[in-house]
A = this chain, B = another copy of it.
């Protein structure tokens, strides 16, 4: 089998065109967000939508629940689609829903999305009080059933406590190092060391607010950053988590930032002057551009096996050990 290409975070406005772009870009697997602020019932509606897409486009996509689904996708020229939540809202206040969601195919759940949640503290809060009582039990239950703890939008203390408390490696599916671009959503060297020391994975984001020079970030700069990250954390715990938000109306980023919790307009990483989705860098506008990243990594000095790992091999290894029940 050839080495897999995996993008471990996308939030595209899905369509037949976008599914075909996945195939054109040679993307074997993606982790897609199916909830930002949805209740349990609301997120189930999103599962139903994906079920219809799996039924309608069986030649392009397939349900992904284990590493073997990636292998089957490669064999059958399709893209395996794995589900994740950016917020624990779909489990509401019910620890029993973690296993229910695992049964429905959810394999990643962020403990927080910017704000304080029932489980932990988001990176936009003034004070981070770490994992809550429910949060510690939720991490235990996620460990038991095989759902990955994702701390992409969490505060530092919560992230460090999740790494410490979790019996299995966790992930930061979509963020970049703060030492490259000091955004609120990017991660400190301390957090990234702790994450990767514990076997956790970092997915590099291509969302402009996470990039040095934003939409003008160059592919060279992005790949040189990955080379520096590999020298600090090793190349084996790195992958792609592009955060591609393609073809979405700006009403969606307003939903992502404000949910139902805010009566004021929260601009998140944007501003009143730049309220909508930012423009993607020209070297990654949709999934057809995925091969550019591999080319850029080779140019940045990585060996072919290292490139294969970062482009998907590392995520596949992580999938194999993360999605089954605790043994």
> Are B40 and A97 closer than 8 Å at their CB atoms?
no
Contact A51 B100 (CB under 8 A): yes
A215-235 interface bits toward B, Cβ cutoff 8 Å, 1 = contact, 0 = none: 000000000000000000000
Complex interface: chain B residues within 8 A of A41 (CB) = 40-41
Bound-complex Cα distance A94 to B45 (A): 9
Tell me which of B55, B99, B104 contacts A51 (CB under 8 A). B99
Say yes or no for A271: interface residue by CB 8 A criterion: no
A14 CB to nearest B CB, Å: 16
* A40-B41, A41-B40, A41-B41 known; A48 vs B104 contact (CB < 8 Å): no
Q: Give the complex CA separation of A104 and B49 in angstroms.
A: 16
Q: A52: CB under 8 A from chain B? A: yes
Q: By the criterion of a CB under 8 Å from any partner CB, how many residues of chain A are at the interface?
A: 19
**A60-86: contact bitstring with B at CB < 8 Å (1 yes, 0 no)?**
000000000000000000000000000
Q: Are A48 and B103 in contact (CB under 8 A)?
A: no
Interface residues as binary, A31-56 with B (CB distance below 8 Å gives 1, 0 otherwise) = 00000000011001101110110010
Please tell me if A301 contacts chain B, counting CB pairs below 8 Å.
no
Q: Which residues of B contact A40 (CB under 8 A)?
A: 41, 44
Interface residue? A105 (CB, 8 A): yes
A45–B94 Cα gap in the complex (Å)?
Answer: 9
- Of the candidates B52, B104, B144, the one whose C-beta lies within 8 Å of that of A104 is B104
Least CB distance, A36 to chain B, in whole angstroms: 20
A96: interface (CB < 8 Å): yes
Distance between A326 CB and nearest chain B CB, rounded to angstroms: 11
Complex CA distance for A320 and B280, rounded to whole angstroms: 50
In the bound assembly, the distance between CA atoms of A104 and B51 in angstroms comes to 14
Least CB distance from A102 to B in Å reads 10
Determine the residue in chain B with the shortest Cβ distance to A99: B51
Are the CB atoms of B103 and A52 closer together than 8 Å? no
Which residues of the partner chain B approach A96 to less than 8 Å between Cβ atoms? 45, 48-49, 51-52
24 interchain pairs, CB-CB under 8 A: A40-B41, A40-B44, A41-B41, A44-B97, A44-B100, A45-B96, A47-B100, A47-B103, A48-B94, A48-B96, A48-B97, A48-B99, A48-B100, A49-B96, A51-B96, A51-B99, A51-B100, A52-B96, A55-B144, A100-B104, A103-B103, A103-B104, A103-B105, A104-B104
Known: A49-B96, A51-B96. 11 other contacts (CB 8 A): A40-B44, A41-B41, A47-B100, A48-B94, A48-B96, A48-B97, A48-B99, A48-B100, A51-B99, A103-B103, A103-B105
Query: Which residues of A are interface residues toward B (Cβ below 8 A)?
Result: 40-41, 44-45, 47-49, 51-52, 55, 94, 96-97, 99-100, 103-105, 144
